[in-house]
Amino acid sequence: MEIEEYLVQCRQAGLSDNQIKQNLIGAGWAESDVDHVLGVSTDQLPIDSQSQSQADPTTDNVTKVLGIGQKVTVAIGIYDIVKNIGGMIVLIVCSVGVYFYLTDTMHIVLPSFVIPFALLVMIILIIGTVLQVIITKKMASANLSSTIEQGPPATRIEIQVGEQLQGAFAGITRIMDAKSIFKLRAGPRGGAFGSMTQVGEIYQSENSMLVTNDQIILLTVPMPGADTLLSNGQGDGMDIGMGEWLLAKKQMQAKLDQMINTETLAEVANCHPHNFAIDRKTVSSIVFVRKGMAIQINLTDGKRFTYWFREKADAQRAQALFNAPLA
């Protein structure tokens, strides 16, 4: 067997380049020959890599996305602070005006608790404004250089003997139905938005899809902040993963390609706690919706998963791979 053919078969089996190199050297091949073959162009990779060779490995767009996310969320926080201060000023002016009108003009004797009650309301508003200032400062200084969660999923994704990678797609985002969104907001650990903190977690953060002959693997490629929501504690914020889906697809593709080329398929599949796999035997049908830009995976138990592709070319590749119709 030629070394090039062996290389392709090993990559199809999910072996990393380092493992392939050690196997070839152990079989008697010269290290220089192995290094040369491992440096071949990506047209020998076991997946359709039309977009991979063009992927830009820099992180300029990712940095811009994170910067935009922080600026937007901080701006929302500043708006809330200004709104609170404005509300206090209006309340003070109106309260004083009403007080003097009732006592001096109408000669009405107000109950003794009115002034203490007004002061209590003012104190509450002041405390709320101070807390908002603290939260906004935390949002501005949040470190988004990595994902919130690290490590493999609770249920490890197993790669079977002979399982081969058929396609890899970076730049997908999950389309949530009303029931899923409710679960997301009311989920454990504060749901998507967390409590009054500067950083919340997105639990449905899948941004890429691997397709093998046995499974459809939905994974979160660990881009900086991919599972992160900058939040002001009131449900307002910036989904960093969504921003990366919009502006950093090339970088996401480059990261996924790097992982595929340097790690085993099992390592890639288990790169993030939110990853999960769908056994293709449990799939009742696959159709493409939203004018062919989204894949809808219907399972035999009634569950449904829908993902929107960032680029039309990826959606078309996926449709061809699954031989799926348009709905």
The pLDDT tens digits of the residues spanning 180-223 come to: 444 444 333 333 433 334 566 777 889 999 999 999 999 999 88
Structure confidence at residue 168 (pLDDT): 95
Question: 186 and 260 share a domain?
Answer: yes
Question: 265 and 200 share a domain?
Answer: yes
**In terms of residue numbers, what domain contains 118?**
61-140
Structure confidence at residue 327 (pLDDT): 78
Q: Outline where DSSP puts E strands in the chain.
A: 165-170, 172-174, 199-201, 208-212, 215-219, 228-231, 237-239, 276-279, 283-289, 294-299, 304-309
Residue 52, domain member (yes or no): no
**pTM over cut 0.85:** no
Residue 46, domain member (yes or no): no
Structure confidence at residue 51 (pLDDT): 40
User: Which residues of the chain register pLDDT less than 50?
Assistant: 40-59, 178-197
Structure confidence at residue 233 (pLDDT): 56
Structure confidence at residue 266 (pLDDT): 93
Task: Specify the CATH number for the domain of residue 266.
Answer: 2.30.29.30
Question: How many CB atoms are located within 10 Å of the residue 2 CB?
Answer: 8
3-state secondary structure at position 9: helix
Under the phi-then-psi rule, with left for phi > 0, alpha for psi from -120 to 50, and beta for the rest, what region is 13? alpha
Write down the number of H helices and E strands in the chain: 10, 11
Question: 132 and 113 share a domain?
Answer: yes
Question: 14 and 84 share a domain?
Answer: no
Per the structure block, which two tokens stand in for 106? Answer: 């109408």
Question: 208 and 172 share a domain?
Answer: yes
Question: How many CB atoms are located within 10 Å of the residue 93 CB?
Answer: 10
Question: 132 and 156 share a domain?
Answer: no
Q: How many domains does the chain have?
A: 3
Structure confidence at residue 52 (pLDDT): 39
DSSP code at position 73: H
Of 199, 204, 205, nearest to 223 (Cα)? 205
Question: 200 and 270 share a domain?
Answer: yes
Structure confidence at residue 145 (pLDDT): 64
Question: 136 and 281 share a domain?
Answer: no
Residue 70, domain member (yes or no): yes
Write out pLDDT tens, residues 262-309: 999 999 999 999 999 999 999 999 999 999 999 999 999 999 999 999
Structure confidence at residue 63 (pLDDT): 61
Structure confidence at residue 12 (pLDDT): 62
3-state secondary structure at position 272: coil
Question: 228 and 269 share a domain?
Answer: yes
β-pair type (237-239, 228-231): antiparallel
Residue 98, domain member (yes or no): yes
3-state secondary structure at position 8: helix
Question: 190 and 231 share a domain?
Answer: yes
3-state secondary structure at position 40: coil
Question: 110 and 254 share a domain?
Answer: no
Residue 48, domain member (yes or no): no
Residue 135, domain member (yes or no): yes
Of 81, 236, 265, nearest to 158 (Cα)? 265
Structure confidence at residue 132 (pLDDT): 78
Question: 23 and 130 share a domain?
Answer: no
Per DSSP, what are the bridge partners of residue 308? 173, 294
